[in-house]
Structure 1
Amino acid sequence: MTPEILARITAARTARDLSDLARQAVGITAADMSPAERLIAARRLRKLAADFVDYTVMAEALAGTPWPEIAEPLSRRDPGTVEGEYAESVADWQAMPEDQMTAAAEGAEDLDAWYARHQEDTDPTSETPVTDLLNRR
């Protein structure tokens, strides 16, 4: 297990949660709710989307992607600023003990099963998109 793989698994978990929450948001479209309740639900979606971006940035940084390559698709002009925003988190993930990473990655098979249940015809065809990461070293 590497920090990069754990970050990718964490990003996949976040994407799953975001998808589930987005589906729930569609389900409450006609619900009798207060404006505050609707806005809170929308903010939860935005927070998860931001978390997904953060974990994806972490995975790329941990994989050794240069900061200019990370900053550009984020529409950020200064790679140094982006690096500064993530430096402490990257260092924390790099220092994580192997056993802690392995424990945090548990449940990857559940993500594969979730993907199989929700997979549409236009989605990438992979039976084990998350556990395939575990074969990397």
Structure 2
Amino acid sequence: MKHGAYAVIAAERVDAKVREVFDALAADAPLRASDGGLPAADGAMVRLAAEVMCRLDDVTGYLGAKGWMDEKGNPRTIVLELEGRLRREAADHLDALGCSPRSRAKLGLDVARSQAFDLAQHWAETDVSGDQDGDVIDGDAA
């Protein structure tokens, strides 16, 4: 058996992984659809993450079965590098979905900013002329 990083993944297997990832993220994702679940627009990113995770499962399984050293005692450099790349790619997809502390903090900051400032309320509380006291200075600008 090869490491499986480039193998064709059966559609049923990817679909099962998509459901698994979607269900896991639906419970933890910071953004929700109106029904409380994961937004449908995230489906493509979830599918990419699922495909990467299937490949990562194969590579990790290969290393688990064969070990990280070959028969000559040399590290399986190519497979180990592939595992690292797949882990980073999976992390990138999950980060894009808001599933890392850094991405949640960034999202939280953006959400807090948008909720903290209400332009309509600001205009209602502020004189349209911009003069808080209501004093208007009449004249021409030079």
Question: TM-score w.r.t. structure 1 length?
Answer: 0.40
Decide which structure has greater helix share: 1
Identify which of structures 1 and 2 has the higher relative contact order when contacts are C-alpha pairs closer than 8 Å and 6+ apart: 1
Pair member with larger Rg: 2
Question: TM-score w.r.t. structure 2 length?
Answer: 0.39
